[in-house]
């Protein structure tokens, strides 16, 4: 009956002379009317990847600004948390709980590499790149016991020429840093390196520190600024003026400032002015929005900050900030990655649903660069 109704609807509109765009209809309804199911959209593009374009719903938003949202659908969810982003050529790559996701910008196709198609593990838990090659940190899921956990961590290079996975002894920290840096062979503050930045001839590394069970806090973390050749440099801790020792994401702006996030929103940012050597803290915007987070990118006068509850865009000129939440179009409340190209900011996010209350969600948000200033129209 539903299928017959769909045919009749389009026939009536055609006879009436009404111009019909199928994109106008609510995504997913066409699948119901014409008998397609989620599994119909899960096609093997080759022996090494699946075309999952039909399992990603694209939505166009006009408020608060013009944006595009890519929503992952079942059966990608609830397992497909997108955890990190890397851009190589025309593709965005995403580490994910259920494999390695790829979005081809040119063809607008989505692909999944998982264990069924040769991924040497259950999850590509983290990724990095070096000279156009993709580096993977692979784990298996352990479903024994009360809580699901990761095990058997190992690393691979993805050989794009034949889609082979080449095992390596290198760590993902080495790939991000561009070399092997430890507290034994360098002036590195702590071996718990999370993020790396190559800027003005120096290597900047953030360290989380060591978890102290008694206080349930991380201690000993901070920021290291090293000469990549000599491995010598200096370190920064709370005693030197860091907003917090637990140092997470890092980025730099063209005016010589290096920005470090400290995970929790209330911890704010640490700001290094490389021209003056001055270290300062930035905890809140002029309109009271907390500026700590887990991801950061710099786009001209704007800081793009990923948090555990929102995406914050901070205007360094006006010192105002706009907090973009899930209700505004963010595909989940936890931001996991930010990437910037010549045209847009790309943000991955996911969210958990409370037990018995709907399903998990996740996906990617694309904000054109020319829309960033419009976020602040309502604040002036």
Residue 23 located in a structural domain: yes
Residue 1 falls within a domain, yes or no?
yes
Is 32 part of any domain?
yes
Could you give the C-alpha distances from 348 to 81, 117, 334, in angstroms and in order? 9, 24, 9
Residue 26 lies in a domain: yes
Averaged over successive runs of 10 residues, the pLDDT of the chain (380 residues) comes to 42 38 34 33 67 96 96 86 93 94 96 94 94 95 82 92 89 95 97 96 96 83 97 97 95 97 93 96 97 97 97 97 96 96 97 74 96 88
Which domain covers residue 18, as residue numbers? 1-36
Angle in degrees, CA 206, 212, 218, rounded to 5? 25
CA 30 to centroid of chain Cα atoms:
30
186 within 8 A of 196, measured Cβ to Cβ = no
Q: Is 16 a member of any domain? A: yes
pTM of the predicted model, to two decimals?
0.86
Separation of CA 83 from chain center:
6
Query: What are the distances in angstroms from CA 302 to CA 202, 222, 298, 378?
Result: 23, 24, 6, 17
- Condensed to tens digits (0 to 9), the pLDDT of residues 245-294 reads 999 999 999 999 999 999 889 999 999 999 999 999 999 999 999 999 99
Whether residue 29 lies inside any domain: the answer is yes
191 falls within a domain? no
Locate 380 and state its tokens. 């002036």
What pLDDT, on a 0 to 100 scale, did the predictor assign at position 3? 41
User: How many structural domains compose the chain?
Assistant: 1
Asked whether residue 17 is assigned to any structural domain, the reply reads: yes
**CA–CA distance, 372 with 307 (Å, rounded to integer):** 18
């Amino acid at each position: 009956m539903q299928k017959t109704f769909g045919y009749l609807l389009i026939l009536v509109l055609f006879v009436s002379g009404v111009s019909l765009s199928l994109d106008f209809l609510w995504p997913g309804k066409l699948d119901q009317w014409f008998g397609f199911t989620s599994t119909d959209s899960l096609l093997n593009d080759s022996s090494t990847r699946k075309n999952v374009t039909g399992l990603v719903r694209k939505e166009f938003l006009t408020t608060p600004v013009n944006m595009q949202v890519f929503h992952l659908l079942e059966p990608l969810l609830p397992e497909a948390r997108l955890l990190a982003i890397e851009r190589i050529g025309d593709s965005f790559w995403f580490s994910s709980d259920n494999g390695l996701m790829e979005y081809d910008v040119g063809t607008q196709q989505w692909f999944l590499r998982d264990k069924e198609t040769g991924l040497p593990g259950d999850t590509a838990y983290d990724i990095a790149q070096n000279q156009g090659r993709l580096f993977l940190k692979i784990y298996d899921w352990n479903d024994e016991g009360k809580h699901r956990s990761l095990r058997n961590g190992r690393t691979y290079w993805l050989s794009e020429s034949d889609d082979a996975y080449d095992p390596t002894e290198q760590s993902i920290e080495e790939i991000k840093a561009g070399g092997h840096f430890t507290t034994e062979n360098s002036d590195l503050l702590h071996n718990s390196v999370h993020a790396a930045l190559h800027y003005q001839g120096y290597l900047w590394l953030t360290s989380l520190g060591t978890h102290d069970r008694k206080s349930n806090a991380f201690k000993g973390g901070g920021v290291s600024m090293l000469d990549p050749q000599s491995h010598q440099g200096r370190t920064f801790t709370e005693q030197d003026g860091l907003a917090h020792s637990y140092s997470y994401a890092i980025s730099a702006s063209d005016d010589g400032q290096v920005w470090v996030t400290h995970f929790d929103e209330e911890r704010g940012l640490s700001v290094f002015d490389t021209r003056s050597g001055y270290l300062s803290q930035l905890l809140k915007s002029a309109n009271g929005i907390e500026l700590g987070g887990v991801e950061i990118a710099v786009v001209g006068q704007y800081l793009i900050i990923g948090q555990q509850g929102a995406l914050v865009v901070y205007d360094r000129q006006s010192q105002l900030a706009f907090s973009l939440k899930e209700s505004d179009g963010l595909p989940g409340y936890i931001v996991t990655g930010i990437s910037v190209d010549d045209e847009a900011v790309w943000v991955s996010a996911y969210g958990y649903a409370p037990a018995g209350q709907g399903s998990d969600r996740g996906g990617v948000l694309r904000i054109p660069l020319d829309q960033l200033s419009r976020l602040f129209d309502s604040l002036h």
